[in-house]
């Protein structure tokens, strides 16, 4: 076949839930078709590099499995039997069902359930406008970053860090509990530049030798959930060897004698026993960090997906507060810049439409909530309807058996607005076709960096796909809601939000494709003090004050949290019947479940497998490639063993998220994961799970 002729190349931005939020150059073939997608070379963070899954985006936009028309269920729930209906028929029926449920059970019986399948604010967050206008149940958005956010802000007072491009100026880059080669490839661009240009050392801390650690100078493979112990031992050594910057600490932190004596017995020997590392490894790591002020801590989400994850994040973050690395360019820490955008989304989210706040349902507890469990429901009102956008809970949510059982309830009315026939869409009463990012207008914030980017509509949507924004407006009309912001076009709402936020030159934004929001270096390094009223980094977190910075909720008594960084033993305990720890680390070819439907990604990832140490495997009589089962009280999952020795014994890694249907009986890995909310503010412990393993 001849290569298609490229008509033009247009600027866009990757909409996916990835901290990189790459600026893209998209080949436009015609009004309906794209060619290759490349990373923008003139964007300093993207720097011409994107991941391979988005480079072959044509495969996803033009996927034959896209949902093209509204579909109404005709067979039993979950049968996958649907018939095509018109948009009007679907919308009229959905609205009348919602109104009926509202009348019978109250508006809170309807749960608009959304997440970050697109990171465009108009399409991602606009559902809140409908929710607020109608008084539907609110959603507690815990699934991704609630744990890591808590641990970080407990220290600094704000979700902001040193500019990640500064990594190129570092002498040591510590990549802690994140696998950027898979999850945010641009981190590697800047870290590797530091190595090439300055001979910087790259340290990776993870629970297996992942793709990022393969590129590291020092790889630290610890037991899952033991990062707090490692961080404490490092701080112990820093104090012991006079590598701590006492002057910095007295000026910029709440360092105290009590904290110092707390660290007295957190010796490397103590940490070695907990982490499974050698004392020599811990000493080497501490020395590197202590002797190089320009040490950049890139702290990920992964190591916080543990029940003690917020404490672990805060402990790791405490290290640069002890060395004073924050003062130096190329030094300090970064987790996310999501606390820096200063956007006013009152109208976009319909914040002023709220009369009385409705119940707040934790998205991670969707399984228990659908099954009517009182703790998850928060009130007497059952969930009778779901309106789902930008997420695939049948695969991504914890306690999958409960999620599936809940979705199969005959008295639950489920509407899924989707691009692809996901396994959640298959469980719906209505499946509505959604546009992809190239088919609508939106703006995107870059949590992993410093810019707000514009993503304009570049091609026509296929079939009858409509944007999220369009759907809110059509439903609002039929549900008796009026607000000017439903009537605006998507780009008008982008413009309105910008102007409301004090950014007046919208034309420049459209023309240029971005607004630079980088903080002055002094601010990003907290050189004028941290974001707490006393300007001090808190080694001893104040969880109430942390809560108040964002208005989140405690899921536990904060008194139970340790006073200082520590190894907090609250993780799911291994026992004789559950001797293994499971972590469900990200796959390179999939982004959560996005792309697990494209053939290129499926080919890359193959079938689901569990990495297991050969010593463990041989004890269990398992050889490479054998079919095995992994299980616990929540269920069991079938996959293949892959022997892998760069892991501690007793640990199993399953890189996911494969489709549920690629496992036997359609039972996916999240069957094994608990939905109990992680202290202090909730979130799911996706990498903290005690299991048994057996051959079949
Ligand atoms: N290819 C790809 N890219 C993605 C995603 C994806 O699924 N695939 N997901 C996207 C999303 S939504 C997010 S939030 C980000 C997340 O990106 P990351 O910050 O990278 O977080 P995770 O993906 O959860 O896991 C990262 C690493 O944490 C490790 N880990 C697990 N438990 C522990 C522990 O106790 N200690 C330590 N030190 N390490 C541990 C895992 O083995 C894994 O290598 O990535 C985004 N990008
Ligand atoms: N075991 C395990 N489970 C995990 C994780 C893990 O590490 N391990 N990671 C967790 C994390 S960090 C996260 S963030 C969650 C993420 O989980 P999800 O938010 O469910 O993310 P995706 O699986 O990417 O699904 C997003 C869906 O949104 C759809 N979508 C994209 N854009 C649009 C749009 O504009 N309109 C509409 N209507 N739909 C759209 C896509 O087609 C896709 O099906 O998963 C969590 N689950
Ligand atoms: S690295 Fe992340 S932001 Fe960049 S193209 Fe890939 S998924 Fe999108
Ligand atoms: Mo996430």
DSSP letter assigned to residue 596 = T
Q: Which ligand is nearest to the CA of 305?
A: 1
Mean pLDDT of 313-341: 96
Mutation pick for ligand 1 pocket among 52, 571, 586 (CB with most ligand atoms within 8 Å): 586
Cα–Cα distance between 681 and 602 in angstroms, integer? Answer: 35
- What is the reported pLDDT for 623? 98
Cα–Cα distance between 225 and 567 in angstroms, integer? Answer: 8
Q: Is the pLDDT of residue 589 over 80?
A: yes
The alpha carbon of 287 and the centre of ligand 1 are apart by a number of angstroms equal to: 26
3-state secondary structure 137-174: CEEECCCCCHHHHHHHHHHHCCCCCCCHHHHHHCCEEE
Its CATH architecture, for the domain 580-695, is Beta Barrel (2.40)
The alpha carbon of 591 and the centre of ligand 4 are apart by a number of angstroms equal to: 9
Mean pLDDT of 433-451: 94
Atom of ligand 3 nearest to the CA of 184: 1
The alpha carbon of 301 and the centre of ligand 4 are apart by a number of angstroms equal to: 8
What is the third-level CATH fold of 8-61? Phosphorylase Kinase; domain 1 (3.30.200)
Q: Is the pLDDT of residue 2 over 90?
A: no
Confirm if 11 and 25 have CB atoms less than 8 A apart: yes
Mean pLDDT of 654-680: 96
> Ligand 3: does its nearest atom lie under 6 Å from the Cβ of 313?
no
Mean pLDDT of 310-333: 98
Mean pLDDT of 344-367: 95
> Ligand 3: does its nearest atom lie under 6 Å from the Cβ of 453?
no
Which of 77, 33, 34, 40 lies closest to 446 in space, CA to CA?
Answer: 40
Digit-coded pLDDT (tens) for 205-260: 999 999 999 999 999 999 999 999 999 999 999 999 999 999 999 999 999 999 99
Q: Which residue has the higher pLDDT, 339 or 480?
A: 480
φ, ψ of residue 569 in degrees (nearest 5): -90, 75
Provide the sign of the torsion angle of the four alpha carbons 72, 74, 80, 82, taken in this order. Answer: negative
Digit-coded pLDDT (tens) for 520-568: 999 999 999 999 999 999 999 999 999 999 999 999 999 999 999 999 9
User: What residues flank ligand 1, with Cβ below 6 Å?
Assistant: 17-18, 144, 177-179, 182-184, 205-208, 210, 224-225, 227, 300-303, 305-306, 583, 585-588, 590-592, 687
Atom of ligand 3 nearest to the CA of 24: 5
Q: Which ligand is nearest to the CA of 210?
A: 1
* Residue owning the nearest CA to atom 18 of ligand 1: 178
Domain ranges of the chain: 8-61, 71-143+349-451+462-514, 147-335, 580-695
Q: In this prediction, what percent of the chain has a pLDDT beyond 70? A: 100
What is the third-level CATH fold of 71-143+349-451+462-514? Rossmann fold (3.40.50)
pTM of the model: 0.98
Q: Is the pLDDT of residue 1 over 90?
A: no
Helix/strand/coil for 331 = coil
> Ligand 2: does its nearest atom lie under 6 Å from the Cβ of 670?
yes
Q: What is the mean pLDDT of the chain?
A: 97
Cα–Cα distance between 246 and 252 in angstroms, integer? Answer: 10
Mean pLDDT of 22-27: 98
Mean pLDDT of 674-683: 98
The alpha carbon of 202 and the centre of ligand 2 are apart by a number of angstroms equal to: 30
The alpha carbon of 98 and the centre of ligand 2 are apart by a number of angstroms equal to: 25
Atom of ligand 1 nearest to the CA of 653: 42
Q: Is the pLDDT of residue 416 over 70?
A: yes
- CATH of region 147-335: 3.40.228.10
Mean pLDDT of 652-681: 97
- What is the reported pLDDT for 339? 86
User: Long-range contact list for 571-575, CB < 8 A, 24+ apart?
Assistant: 571/224, 571/225, 571/306, 571/307, 571/308, 571/685, 571/688, 572/307, 572/674, 572/685, 572/688, 572/689, 572/690, 573/690, 574/650, 574/690, 575/690
- What is the reported pLDDT for 449? 85
- What is the reported pLDDT for 448? 84
Neighbours of ion ligand 4 (CB under 5 A): 144
């Amino acid at each position: 076949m001849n290569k298609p002729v490229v008509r033009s190349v247009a600027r866009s931005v990757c909409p996916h839930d990835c901290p990189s939020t790459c600026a893209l150059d998209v080949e436009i073939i015609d009004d309906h078709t794209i060619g290759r997608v490349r990373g923008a070379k003139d964007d300093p963070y993207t720097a011409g590099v994107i991941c391979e899954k988005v480079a072959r985006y044509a495969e996803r936009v033009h996927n034959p499995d896209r949902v093209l028309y509204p579909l109404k269920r005709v067979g039993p729930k979950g049968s996958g039997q649907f018939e095509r209906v018109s948009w009007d028929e679907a919308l009229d029926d959905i609205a009348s069902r919602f109104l009926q449920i509202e009348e019978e059970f109250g508006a809170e019986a309807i749960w608009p359930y959304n997440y970050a399948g697109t990171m465009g604010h108009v399409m991602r967050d606009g559902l809140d406008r409908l929710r607020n206008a109608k008084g539907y149940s609110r959603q507690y958005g815990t699934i991704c970053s609630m744990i890591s956010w808590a641990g970080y802000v407990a220290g600094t007072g704000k979700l902001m860090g040193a500019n990640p491009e500064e990594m190129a100026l570092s002498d040591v880059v510590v990549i802690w509990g994140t696998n950027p080669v898979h999850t945010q490839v641009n981190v590697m661009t800047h870290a590797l530049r530091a190595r090439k240009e300055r001979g910087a050392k790259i340290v990776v801390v993870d629970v297996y030798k992942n793709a990022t650690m393969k590129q590291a100078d020092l790889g630290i493979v610890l037991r899952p959930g033991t990062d707090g112990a490692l961080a404490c031992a490092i701080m112990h050594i820093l104090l012991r060897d006079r590598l701590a910057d006492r002057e910095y600490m007295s000026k910029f932190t709440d360092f105290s004698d009590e904290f110092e004596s707390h660290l007295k017995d957190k010796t490397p020997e103590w940490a070695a026993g907990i982490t499974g590392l050698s004392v020599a490894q811990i000493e080497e790591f501490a020395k590197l960090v202590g002797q190089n002020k320009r040490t950049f801590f890139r702290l990920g989400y992964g190591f916080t997906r543990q029940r003690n994850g917020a404490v672990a994040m805060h402990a790791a973050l405490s290290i640069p507060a002890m060395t004073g690395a924050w003062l130096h360019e190329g030094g300090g820490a970064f987790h996310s810049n999501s606390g820096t955008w200063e956007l006013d989304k009152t109208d976009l989210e319909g914040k002023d439409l709220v009369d009385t706040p409705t119940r707040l349902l934790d998205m991670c507890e969707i399984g228990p909530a659908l099954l009517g469990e009182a703790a998850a429901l928060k009130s007497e009102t059952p969930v009778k309807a779901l309106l789902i956008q930008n997420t695939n809970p049948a695969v991504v949510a914890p306690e999958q058996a409960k999620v599936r059982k809940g979705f199969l309830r005959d008295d639950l009315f489920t509407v899924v607005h989707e691009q692809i026939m996901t396994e959640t869409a298959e469980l719906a009463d209505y499946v509505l076709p959604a546009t992809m990012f190239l088919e609508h207008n939106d703006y995107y914030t870059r949590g992993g960096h410093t810019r707000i980017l514009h993503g304009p509509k570049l091609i026509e949507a296929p079939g009858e796909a409509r944007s999220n924004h369009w759907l809110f407006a059509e439903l609002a009309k039929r549900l008796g809601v009026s607000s000017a912001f439903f009537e605006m076009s998507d780009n008008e709402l982008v413009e309105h939000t910008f102007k409301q936020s004090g950014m007046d030159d919208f034309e420049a934004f459209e023309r240029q494709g971005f607004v630079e929001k980088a903080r002055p270096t002094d601010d990003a390094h907290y050189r004028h003090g941290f974001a707490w009223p006393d300007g001090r980094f808190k080694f001893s977190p104040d969880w109430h004050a942390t809560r108040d910075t964002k208005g989140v909720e405690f899921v536990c008594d904060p008194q139970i949290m340790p006073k200082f960084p520590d190894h907090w033993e609250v993780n799911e305990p291994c026992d004789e019947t559950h001797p293994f720890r499971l972590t469900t680390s990200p796959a390179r070819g999939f982004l959560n479940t996005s792309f697990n439907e494209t053939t290129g990604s499926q080919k890359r990832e193959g079938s689901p497998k569990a990495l297991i140490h050969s010593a463990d495997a041989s004890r269990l009589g398992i050889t490479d490639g054998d079919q095995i089962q992994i299980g616990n009280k929540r269920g069991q999952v079938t996959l293949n063993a892959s022997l892998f020795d760069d892991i501690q014994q007793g640990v199993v890694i399953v890189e996911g998220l494969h489709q549920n249907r690629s496992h036997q009986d359609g039972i996916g890995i999240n069957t094994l994961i608990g939905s109990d909310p992680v202290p202090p503010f909730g979130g799911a412990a996706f990498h903290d799970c005690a299991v048994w393993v057996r051959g079949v």
